[in-house]
Amino acid sequence: MSNPVFFAEPGSLETVTPGARFVLEGPEARHAVTVKRIGIGESVDISDGAGFRLTGTVADAGAGTLTVTASGVEFEDRPAIRLVLVQALAKGDRDELAIETATELGIDAVVPWQAERSIVRWKGDRARKAHAKWESVVTAAAKQARRAWIPEVRPIVESAGLAPLVAAADLAIILHEDAKNSLRGVLEAAAGLEITASAPAREVLLIVGPEGGISPREVTRLSDAGAVTALLGHHVLRSSTAGPAAVVLASDILGRW
């Protein structure tokens, strides 16, 4: 069974060497000691959420601190082809369910999208709180999945702001029930995305609409920016399941798994 993972501050593990002791403090340490009841002698992983992972043994578990003796510290590279889920805001926390599951499956970043037909609206103070909630959701899901990377939650965009992101991506796919080409076919055609020294990483956007679907005007605008439409399957999926299903297929075909 894999070790439980707890997150430290980004950059805090870069200088830690085998044999050294690392002290985890704050909410993560309290969660480890008080909730998970991690004790002396148990094996744990500490990640900084930005690729570094410390594996070690608990040397001391105090009130609000967890001291770990490092047996090893490794840096885990991000995939050469990175997947970004553009998730339309949806009611009933379905958007949060989508990003939670996608994080467990390996998504690299998520973009909250205020689509034309989104019933939920992020405005003012609610927008700040909602964005923070998404960050909390992906962090918890990354911990559950024992990940060394916490997916980035990028700023919210409306359709006008999404078009430039589409144009900048190496590939942008709109998951759409009226598409003629299958998602498998589109991904297989993109499986040869060239990774070079000048372009060591590629980015693929998976765009999922809200409950009412993506409007024709949005499809046209995003297609004009370079997006392609793709059919995920024979059935219409909820906004909460379409993205994770696409992540699974993309991870397999693009060689991430």
pLDDT single digits (tens) 16-57: 999 999 999 999 999 999 998 999 999 999 999 999 999 999
Q: Domain holding 22: CATH number?
A: 2.40.240.20
- Domain shared by 97 and 191, yes or no: yes
The answer on 217 and 136 residing in a single domain is yes
* 177 CB-contact burial (10 Å; exposed 0-12 / middle 13-18 / buried 19+): middle
- What mean pLDDT value characterizes the chain? 92
Higher pLDDT, 212 or 185: 185
Co-location of 85 and 66 in the same domain: no
Average pLDDT of the segment spanning 206-224: 93
Give yes or no: residues 124 and 235 share one domain. yes
Do residue 159 and residue 246 come from a single domain?
Answer: yes
**Chosen domain end from 75, 90, 120:** 75
**pLDDT tier, 103 (very low <50, low <70, confident <90, very high otherwise):** very high
Same domain for 92 and 61, yes or no, is no
24 and 86 together in one domain: no
Domain boundary among 35, 59, 75: 75
Provide mean pLDDT across the span 106-134. 93
**Model confidence, pTM:** 0.91
pLDDT at 200: 63
Residues 44 and 160 in one domain: no
Residues 153, 134 within the same domain: yes
Report the pLDDT value the prediction gives residue 162, as an integer from 0 to 100: 97
Query: How many domains does the structure of the chain reveal?
Result: 2
Mean predicted confidence (pLDDT) in 2-26: 93
How far is Cα 131 from Cα 141, in angstroms, rounded to an integer? 15
Same domain, 111 and 16: no
pLDDT per residue over 71-88, tens digit each?
A: 999 999 999 899 999 999
- The CATH number linked to 124 is 3.40.1280.10
* Domain limits for position 213: 81-253
- 142: tokens are 């990354």
Q: Assess whether 88 and 135 both reside in one domain.
A: yes
pLDDT of residue 115: 94
CA distances from 20 to 17, 25, 28, 67 (A): 6, 16, 20, 10
Residue 67 and residue 177 share a domain: no
